[in-house]
Chain A
Amino acid sequence: MSVNLAEAVEKLEKDSVMQEVQKRLDNGEDVLRILEECRNGMTVVGDKFQAGEAFLAELMLSGEIFKEVMKIIKPHMTQEASQEKKGTVIMATLQGDIHDLGKDIVVTLLEARGFEVHNLGVDVPVGALVEKVKEVKPDFVGFSSLLTPNIQVMKQTVDLLVENNLRDKLKVMIGGGITTDKAREFVGADFQTLDANEGVNYCVSVMEGN
C-alpha cells in the first residue's frame, strides 16, 4: 500500500518517508509529483507553526526530512525541473554576528518551497552582500540577527543598496530575536518577522503578486 507522503512528512515519520520516496523513484514515478507531496506536508507543518499549533522542533525536523528527500531525488531530476524556481533569495547574517540557526531554518524552508537560495553564511561584509545582489539579481534579501548592533549594519546595507540603485528591484526582509517593527522602519526593510514560516509565506505571496 502506498504511503501518503504529505501526511508522513507532517507526522515526521522520517523512515517511512525515505522508504516511500525510494520506492516511488524505483517505480519511475514523476519526481516533481513526489517533491510536491513532500512539500505539501512541510507547508502544513509551517502553517501550523505560524498559527501557534506546531513547534519549532517540528518545523526543523520536517525541513530535515525534506533535505534528505532532496538528496535522493536530485539525481533523478531533469535539468529543466532542477531549474524551475519560485524566486531567488539571498540570505545572510551580516558582519558582526555569527549566529546561523534561525537563518538556516529559513533557508531550508525557502528551498523546500521552491526558491533558489544563496546562503551567504554569517559575518558577511556589507560590500560582499551588495556584490552578490549585483551578481544574482534576487527578488529578496533576508538578514537574520540576534544582536542589536547588527541593526545598524542592516541599515548600512540597505543604504548601500539604495546608493547602488538596487533597492527598488528587490524586497528586504529582516528577522531574528532582536528585530521589531521599529527596527524594520529604522533599517528601511519591507518586512520583519520572528517567525521563519511567516517569512517564507511573505516571499510566496510577493511572488504570486498578492
Chain B
Amino acid sequence: MPKETMTRWERVWAAANGEKSDRVPVIPVYGPYGATFQGMSQGDYYRDIDNAGLEAMLKTFDDVGGWDAIWGSGVGFDRKYWNLAARYPMEVKEPGTDTPDDYVIQLHEREVLFYDDYDRIAELGYRKFFDDEVIFRISNYTPESLHEAKKQVVKTIMKAKTLWEQRDVNLYYTFGDIVPFFTLSLGRSLIRFTEDLYYKPEKIHNALRRMTDDIIEQGLKAAKHSDRKINFLVCERGSAYHYPLDIFEKFWMNYVKEIIEAWFAEGIITNFHLDTDWTKNLPSFKKNLPKHSFILELDSTTDLINAREIMGDHCCIKGDVPASLLSLGTAEDVDEYCRKMIREVGRDGAYILASGCETPIDTKRENFLAMLNAAKTSFY
C-alpha cells in the first residue's frame, strides 16, 4: 500500500485547485451523525451541543481514524447556529426540545419575509435586517438573550476550531453564507418567491444587489485573516429543476458571478453546496466562472459522472454518496459506489469524496467506514 505524502490540508487544497493529491481526499458533511456513532440520542446531542455534542463529533472522528477536513463550523448546527451564525430565515425544530428525541433537526419554511421587505433588505443589508427584525419573527429570542446566544456561538466555534486543530485537521471553509437568491426564497417561501419572480420581480433585484455586495465584503474580510482560502455558498433552489435558465442567469448567476470573481481575485476558492439537479446549469458555471475558482459539492441528484463530463478539468467536484445508500445499502454497495466515483470523476484529481449532502443520522456504521476507507485507500 502506498503511503500518504501530504498533510490533510495540502491534500484538500490540491484537489480544490484541480490537481491530483497523494490520495483522494474525503470530507463528509458531518454533524449529528457523530451522536449516532457514539450511541447518543439526537435529543441529548442538541440539548448540549456545545459540549457533549461536540465531544461526540470529536470522538467519532478519533474512533474512525479521522478524515481530511471538517465541514461546517466544527460544531453541530442547532437553533443558534442556523439562525444566528448562518442567518437562515426559518424556524428551527430541535430534537429533544421542539420534537421527540429521535427526530432529525428540521427547518420549517413559512412566509417570514414579506414583499416590501425586499426594500428593507436593499436599504439595510440582509444581515442588519435579519438581526434587527427577522430573527424575532422566527424565534423566541429577546434582544438580551440574542446577545448572549451570539457570544456563545462565537465562543464555541473558537473552542471547536482549536480542538479540531489539535487533531491536525482544519475546518473545510473559512466563511460560509447562503446564495442571496436562496435566502430570499427560503424567507418568502418557495411559492411566494416564485410568484414574485414571475409577476413582480423589480424589487428582487435591489435586494440581491445589496446582498451580493455585502457577501463579497464579508467573505473577503473573513478570508483575509486565514491561510485557508475556501469559502462556502449554499443553494438548494435555482437549478433548472426549479427555474428556467433565463431566470437562473438573471437572478442567480448574474450576482453569484460577481461574488466568485471578487473572491477568486484574492485567491479564494468557493465551495458551492448545490442540492437538486443542476445538470442543465453546469454549462453556465463553466462559461461564467473562472477555472478552478470553485468546487461543486453535489447531493447525488445531479449525476456526478455527467457533471465531470460537462465541467472537464474546469473545477473540483465533491460528492456524492447518496443518503439512502448510506442508510439502506450495504458496506459493499457503498464501497462500490465510492470507487466508481473515484474512477470516473476523480480519475485526474480535482475530486473530493463526500456524502451527498448531510451524512444521515441513520447511516450504518459500516457504511460510514466504507466511505472513508474508499478514499483512504485510493492513491494516485
Most buried by B among A57, A61, A123, A178: A57
Min Cβ gap A30→B in Å is 29
Min Cβ gap B251→A in Å is 11
- B164 contacts the other chain (Cβ, under 8 Å)? no
Min Cβ gap A79→B in Å is 31
Given that A96-B104, A101-B109, A149-B360 are contacting pairs, would A180 and B324 also be in contact in the complex, using a CB cutoff of 8 Å? yes
CB-defined interface of A12-48 with B at 8 Å, one 1/0 digit per residue? 1010000000000000000000000000000000000
Q: Are B328 and A147 in contact (CB under 8 A)?
A: no
Q: Are A98 and B93 in contact (CB under 8 A)?
A: yes
Q: Which residues of B contact A99 (CB under 8 A)?
A: 106
Q: Which residues of B contact A55 (CB under 8 A)?
A: 240-244
CB-defined interface of B64-79 with A at 8 Å, one 1/0 digit per residue? 0000000000000000
Q: Are B191 and A148 in contact (CB under 8 A)?
A: no
Min Cβ gap A85→B in Å is 25
- B361 contacts the other chain (Cβ, under 8 Å)? yes
Q: Which residues of A contact B362 (CB under 8 A)?
A: 148-149, 152
Q: Are B199 and A147 in contact (CB under 8 A)?
A: no
Q: Are A57 and B103 in contact (CB under 8 A)?
A: no
Q: Are A14 and B199 in contact (CB under 8 A)?
A: yes
Q: Are B243 and A183 in contact (CB under 8 A)?
A: no
Distance A99 CA – B102 CA, assembled complex (angstroms)? 16
Distance A149 CA – B241 CA, assembled complex (angstroms)? 25
Min Cβ gap A178→B in Å is 5
Q: Which residues of A contact B190 (CB under 8 A)?
A: 60, 101
Distance A177 CA – B322 CA, assembled complex (angstroms)? 10
Distance A98 CA – B198 CA, assembled complex (angstroms)? 28
Q: Are B324 and A57 in contact (CB under 8 A)?
A: no
Given that A147-B104, A149-B104 are contacting pairs, would A182 and B328 also be in contact in the complex, using a CB cutoff of 8 Å? yes
Q: Are A98 and B108 in contact (CB under 8 A)?
A: yes
Given that A101-B109, A182-B324 are contacting pairs, would A57 and B247 also be in contact in the complex, using a CB cutoff of 8 Å? yes
Q: Are B242 and A56 in contact (CB under 8 A)?
A: yes
Q: Which residues of B contact A147 (CB under 8 A)?
A: 104, 106, 360
Q: Which residues of B contact A182 (CB under 8 A)?
A: 324, 328-329
- B254 contacts the other chain (Cβ, under 8 Å)? no
Q: Which residues of B contact A141 (CB under 8 A)?
A: none
- A179 contacts the other chain (Cβ, under 8 Å)? yes
- A7 contacts the other chain (Cβ, under 8 Å)? no
Min Cβ gap A106→B in Å is 14
Q: Are B323 and A148 in contact (CB under 8 A)?
A: yes
Distance A96 CA – B99 CA, assembled complex (angstroms)? 8
Min Cβ gap B349→A in Å is 30
Residue from A61, A149, A177 within 8 A of B301 (CB atoms): A177
Distance A58 CA – B190 CA, assembled complex (angstroms)? 12
- B149 contacts the other chain (Cβ, under 8 Å)? no
Distance A149 CA – B301 CA, assembled complex (angstroms)? 19
- B162 contacts the other chain (Cβ, under 8 Å)? no
- Which residue of A is nearest B241, CB measured? A56
Q: Are A64 and B195 in contact (CB under 8 A)?
A: yes
- A97 contacts the other chain (Cβ, under 8 Å)? yes
CB-defined interface of A171-192 with B at 8 Å, one 1/0 digit per residue? 0000001111011001000000
Min Cβ gap A156→B in Å is 13
- Which residue of B is nearest A54, CB measured? B244
Q: Are A151 and B327 in contact (CB under 8 A)?
A: yes
Q: Are B106 and A98 in contact (CB under 8 A)?
A: yes
- Which residue of A is nearest B301, CB measured? A177
- B194 contacts the other chain (Cβ, under 8 Å)? yes
Distance A60 CA – B194 CA, assembled complex (angstroms)? 9
Distance A187 CA – B326 CA, assembled complex (angstroms)? 16
Q: Are B361 and A64 in contact (CB under 8 A)?
A: no
CB-defined interface of B43-73 with A at 8 Å, one 1/0 digit per residue? 0000000000000000000000000000000
Q: Are B328 and A12 in contact (CB under 8 A)?
A: no
Given that A98-B93, A98-B106, A177-B301 are contacting pairs, would A151 and B197 also be in contact in the complex, using a CB cutoff of 8 Å? no
Most buried by B among A96, A97, A148, A180: A148
- In B92-144, the 8 Å CB interface with A consists of 93, 99, 102-104, 106, 108-109
Q: Which residues of B contact A56 (CB under 8 A)?
A: 241-243
Distance A178 CA – B360 CA, assembled complex (angstroms)? 10
Distance A99 CA – B242 CA, assembled complex (angstroms)? 17
Q: Which residues of B contact A97 (CB under 8 A)?
A: 104, 106
- Which residue of A is nearest B279, CB measured? A52
Q: Which residues of B contact A194 (CB under 8 A)?
A: 301
- Which residue of A is nearest B357, CB measured? A177
CB-defined interface of A132-147 with B at 8 Å, one 1/0 digit per residue? 0000000000000001
Q: Which residues of B contact A178 (CB under 8 A)?
A: 323-324, 360
Q: Are A186 and B328 in contact (CB under 8 A)?
A: yes
Report 14 cross-chain contacts, Cβ distance below 8 Å, ordered by A residue.
A55-B244, A56-B241, A57-B197, A57-B198, A58-B244, A60-B190, A61-B195, A101-B109, A148-B323, A148-B362, A149-B362, A151-B328, A178-B360, A182-B328
The 9 closest A-B pairs by CB, nearest first: A148-B327, A148-B360, A149-B362, A57-B194, A56-B242, A180-B324, A147-B104, A57-B243, A148-B323
- Chain A residues engaging chain B, CB cutoff 8 angstroms: 12, 14, 55-58, 60-61, 64, 96-99, 101, 123, 147-149, 151-152, 177-180, 182-183, 186, 194
